[in-house]
Amino acid sequence: MALSRRGVLLGAGAAGGLLLAWTLAPRRYVAPLPASAGEVAFDSWLKIGTDGVVTVAVPEAEMGHGITTLIPQIVAMELGADWRQIAVEPAPVSGAYGNAALAAHWAPLWLPLATCLADEPGDWLARRYAEDEVFDVMADGTTITAFEASVRAAAASARAMLAMAAANRWGVAWEECVAESGFIVHDKNRLSFAALAEDAARRTPPDPPVLRPEAPGERAGAVLPGAALSFPRLDLPAKVDGSYIFAGDVRLPDMVFAAIRHGPLGEARLAGYDPARARGVAGFRRVVEGPDWLAAVATTWWAAERALGLIAPRFSVDQRADSARIERALDTALRRGDATRIAERGNPDAWLSARFEHVARYAVAPALHATLETASATARLVEGRLELWMASQAPQAARKAAAEAAEVPLEKVVLYPTGGGGSFDRRLESDHAAEVALIARQVGKPVQLAWSRWQEHVAGLPRSPAQAVLAARTAPDGSLAALKVRVAMPGATAEFGERLFEGASRSDALAAQDEADPLFLAGAVPPYAIEHLTVEHCPARIALPTGRQRGNGAALGCFLIETFIDELAVRANREPLSYRIAMLGGDVKLVGVLQHAATLAEWNGGTMGSGQGLACCRMAVAGREGRIAVVASARRDERGIRVDRLTAVADIGRVINADIARQQIEGGLVFAMGLGSGCATAYSDGLPLTGRLGLLGLPLLADCPEIDVEFIDSEADPFDPGELGVAAALPAIANALYASGGTRVRSLPFLAETT
Question: Within this chain, do residues 453 and 469 fall inside the same structural domain, yes or no?
Answer: no
Question: Within this chain, do residues 449 and 490 fall inside the same structural domain, yes or no?
Answer: no
Give domain status of residue 10, yes or no. no
Q: Is 706 exposed, middle or buried (0-12, 13-18, 19+ CB in 10 A)?
A: exposed
Question: Within this chain, do residues 286 and 341 fall inside the same structural domain, yes or no?
Answer: no
In degrees and rounded to multiples of 5, residue 482 shows phi and psi of: -145, 140
Beta strands in 273-331 (DSSP E): 284-289, 293-298, 314-318
Furthest-apart CA atoms within the chain: distance in Å: 83
Percentage of the chain lying above the pLDDT 70 cut: 95
Beta bridge partners of 474: 480
Q: What is the pLDDT of residue 288?
A: 98
Q: What is the pLDDT of residue 671?
A: 97
**700: which DSSP letter?**
P
Give domain status of residue 188, yes or no. yes
Contact indicator for 218, 420 with CB cutoff of 8 Å: no
Q: What's the rounded Cα separation, in Å, for the pair 305 and 662? A: 40
Q: Give the three-class secondary structure for 481.
A: strand
**427: which DSSP letter?**
G
Question: Within this chain, do residues 473 and 386 fall inside the same structural domain, yes or no?
Answer: no
pLDDT in tens, 264-315: 998 899 999 999 999 999 999 999 999 999 999 999 999 999 999 999 999 9
Q: Cβ of 306: how many Cβ atoms within 10 Å?
A: 20
Beta carbons within 8 Å of 19's beta carbon, 6+ residues apart: 10, 13, 125
Give domain status of residue 234, yes or no. no
pLDDT in tens, 338-362: 999 999 999 998 888 878 899 999 9
Question: Within this chain, do residues 252 and 357 fall inside the same structural domain, yes or no?
Answer: no
Average pLDDT, the chain: 93
Domains held by the chain: number = 3
Identify the CATH number of the domain in which residue 272 sits.
Answer: 3.30.365.10
pTM of structure:
0.94
Number of H helices and E strands in the chain, helices first, is: 23, 30
pLDDT at 17 over 60: no
Contact indicator for 361, 746 with CB cutoff of 8 Å: yes
Give domain status of residue 20, yes or no. no
Q: What is the pLDDT of residue 514?
A: 97
Q: What's the rounded Cα separation, in Å, for the pair 626 and 642? A: 28
Which amino acid is it at 296? Answer: A
Question: Within this chain, do residues 425 and 522 fall inside the same structural domain, yes or no?
Answer: no
Q: What's the rounded Cα separation, in Å, for the pair 102 and 135? A: 9
| Listed residue (164, 6, 5, 156) closest to 80, CA to CA | 156
pLDDT at 217 over 90: yes
Lowest-pLDDT choice from 15-19, 314-318, 593-597, 612-616: 15-19
Q: What's the rounded Cα separation, in Å, for the pair 263 and 272? A: 11
In degrees and rounded to multiples of 5, residue 276 shows phi and psi of: -60, -25
**pLDDT: is 20 or 535 the higher one?**
535
For residue 441, the enclosing domain spans 247-318+370-459
DSSP string spanning 387-408? EEEE--SSHHHHHHHHHHHHT-
CA distances from 278 to 285, 306, 307, 439 (A): 9, 8, 5, 18
Question: Within this chain, do residues 49 and 189 fall inside the same structural domain, yes or no?
Answer: yes
Contact indicator for 739, 610 with CB cutoff of 8 Å: yes
Give domain status of residue 17, yes or no. no
Q: What is the mean pLDDT of residues 318-329?
A: 94
Q: Cβ of 491: how many Cβ atoms within 10 Å?
A: 28
Question: Within this chain, do residues 288 and 342 fall inside the same structural domain, yes or no?
Answer: no
Which of the listed residues 405, 427, 459 is the one where a domain comes to its end?
Answer: 459
Q: What is the mean pLDDT of residues 710-733?
A: 96
Q: What is the mean pLDDT of residues 162-180?
A: 98
Percentage of the chain lying above the pLDDT 90 cut: 88
Which of the listed residues 438, 459, 480 is the one where a domain comes to its end?
Answer: 459
| Listed residue (665, 553, 626) closest to 106, CA to CA | 553
Question: Within this chain, do residues 157 and 256 fall inside the same structural domain, yes or no?
Answer: no
Q: What is the mean pLDDT of residues 540-549?
A: 96
Q: Is 585 exposed, middle or buried (0-12, 13-18, 19+ CB in 10 A)?
A: exposed
Q: What is the pLDDT of residue 266?
A: 86
Give domain status of residue 231, yes or no. no
CA distances from 248 to 64, 401, 406, 417, 693 (A): 16, 20, 21, 12, 18
Helices 724-741 and 552-571 cross at an angle (nearest 10°) of 30
Q: What is the pLDDT of residue 28?
A: 54
Strands 178-180 and 86-90: unpaired
Give domain status of residue 228, yes or no. no
Q: How far is CA 619 from the centre of its chain?
A: 14
pLDDT at 407 over 70: yes
CA distances from 659 to 139, 209, 481, 663 (A): 21, 29, 41, 6
Q: What is the pLDDT of residue 227?
A: 84
Question: Within this chain, do residues 504 and 453 fall inside the same structural domain, yes or no?
Answer: no
Contact indicator for 104, 126 with CB cutoff of 8 Å: yes
Q: What is the pLDDT of residue 29?
A: 58
Which of the listed residues 222, 239, 270 is the one where a domain comes to its end?
Answer: 222
Q: What is the pLDDT of residue 736?
A: 98
CB crowding 170-195: b at 16 or more within 10 Å, else e: eeeebeebebeebbbbbeeeebbbbb
| Listed residue (694, 667, 697, 668) closest to 680, CA to CA | 697
Question: Within this chain, do residues 203 and 263 fall inside the same structural domain, yes or no?
Answer: no
| Listed residue (679, 724, 674, 266) closest to 465, CA to CA | 679
Contact indicator for 221, 171 with CB cutoff of 8 Å: no
Q: Is 479 exposed, middle or buried (0-12, 13-18, 19+ CB in 10 A)?
A: middle
pLDDT at 12 over 50: no
pLDDT in tens, 663-694: 999 999 999 999 999 999 999 999 999 999 99
pLDDT in tens, 602-612: 999 999 999 99
Q: What's the rounded Cα separation, in Å, for the pair 441 and 449? A: 13
pLDDT in tens, 411-448: 999 999 999 878 999 999 999 999 999 999 999 999 99
Which amino acid is it at 501? Answer: F
Query: At 224, is the pLDDT very low, low, confident or very high (cuts 50, 70, 90)?
Result: confident
Q: How far is CA 389 from the centre of its chain?
A: 20
Contact indicator for 550, 722 with CB cutoff of 8 Å: yes
Question: Within this chain, do residues 722 and 650 fall inside the same structural domain, yes or no?
Answer: yes
Give domain status of residue 628, yes or no. yes
| Listed residue (295, 301, 546, 544) closest to 432, CA to CA | 295
**134: which DSSP letter?**
T
